[in-house]
Amino acid sequence: MTSFGKSVLLTGLAAAGLTVAAAAFAAGPDTLLVDARRVFAPLPAAPSAATDQAVLGRRLFFETRVSADGNVSCSHCHLPEKQGADGLPKSFGVFGKINPRNAPTIFNAALQFKAHWRGDRETIEEQAEKSPTGAVSFGAPDFATVVAELKSIPGYPEAFAKAFPGEADPVTQKNWGKALGAFERTLPQPTRFDAFLAGDAKALTPAEQAGLRKFIEVGCAGCHDGVGVGGTSFAKFGVVEDYWKETGSKDPDKGRADVTKNDADLYVFKVPSLRNVAKTGPYFHDGSVADLPKAVRVMGKVQLGLDLSDKDVEAITAFLGALTQPVPANYSALTPFPDAAAKK
């Protein structure tokens, strides 16, 4: 089955209240962990942040000198104080240009099956490779310009050679992507929900456990599943009714249809991971909803056809708060390499 087919199936089941998780759900408190493990999985151990490739990727993630205006890096839209997002409805890039969609947190990008809201990048490595030449992101005219800048900065040629030993010319677009991918794969960190899935029944408060029950019971887990609590499929945003009627979006985004040129993909987006969601508003691809309780209500209405009660919204929101991870210890800029000799 294709990923789109999977998303349609899951969304249809969720809308009908017939997800496998919901069908198997039992009310007793001793069954919650069993039910949750049917749908979710705890975060696996992250790869080492000390490898040469990950350290190089960390440098590149915070490097601004390869952008057209000298001010933009990957970290520009992914701030530690915003839990790896930037807190804006739509991010701005080089020369203040506005991106067409909201910047999701980078902390769990590596857990998802594709990159970008429309899934137009297969991997985080491909996304990293193409960002420097994005007209709105870094604005470099071509990657040769990026390579020339990196080679001119003392320290980078040696760092690339160390990270990619045996290569005659390691400063390449492909290796830029590999290094950034290696760094980004170190960023997901365990949450209290992971501790709960691992068997610690007290890791979640009673309110959060009630929210988890409700999250499964009403069908949210039909799409927001797996290790990432989402990020495993595509789904139409607005299964029951047009999403913009509830979000107030002024200019509806056609979603994946603009990528595939297939009418079946109209208003289809990647189902986002909900890890860190309590800290990464505003919400949805266009940042149209400012607060999480409203976002929960919108999802209940347009995806499941449910008018969630205040109690249900409060419970689900409480559970989502347990998905917040600590900021990774390596999520900060290293001392920059000195400027290019030509600029001295």
pLDDT for the residue 205: 97
Beta bridge partners of 98: 92
C-alpha triplet 10, 275, 72: angle, nearest 5°: 115
Are 137 and 131 contacting, i.e. CB atoms less than 8 angstroms apart?
yes
- DSSP per residue, 78-130: -BGGGTTB-S-SS-B-GGGPBPSS----STTGGGSSSBSTT--BSSHHHHHHH
Peptide bond into 338 cis (omega under 30): no
Rounded CA gap, 37 and 51, in Å? 32
**High-pLDDT (> 70) share of the chain, %:** 90
Global confidence as pTM: 0.90
Cα(150)–Cα(143) distance, integer angstroms: 11
Instruction: Per residue of the chain (344 residues), give pLDDT as tens.
Output: 444 444 444 444 444 433 433 443 444 456 999 999 999 999 999 999 999 999 999 999 999 999 999 999 999 999 999 999 999 999 999 999 999 999 999 999 999 999 999 999 999 999 999 999 999 999 999 999 999 999 999 999 999 999 999 999 999 999 999 999 999 999 999 999 999 999 999 999 999 999 999 999 999 999 999 999 999 999 999 999 999 999 999 999 999 999 999 999 999 999 999 999 999 999 999 999 999 999 999 999 999 999 999 999 999 999 999 999 999 999 999 999 999 754 44
- Fill in the amino acid letter for 146: V
**pLDDT, tens only, 141-181:** 999 999 999 999 999 999 999 999 999 999 999 999 999 99
pLDDT tens digits, 30-88: 699 999 999 999 999 999 999 999 999 999 999 999 999 999 999 999 999 999 999 99
Residues with Cβ within 8 Å of 312's Cβ and at least 6 positions away in sequence, in order, are 214, 218, 300
Asked if 10 and 222 touch (Cβ cutoff 8 Å), the reply is yes
Average pLDDT, the chain: 92
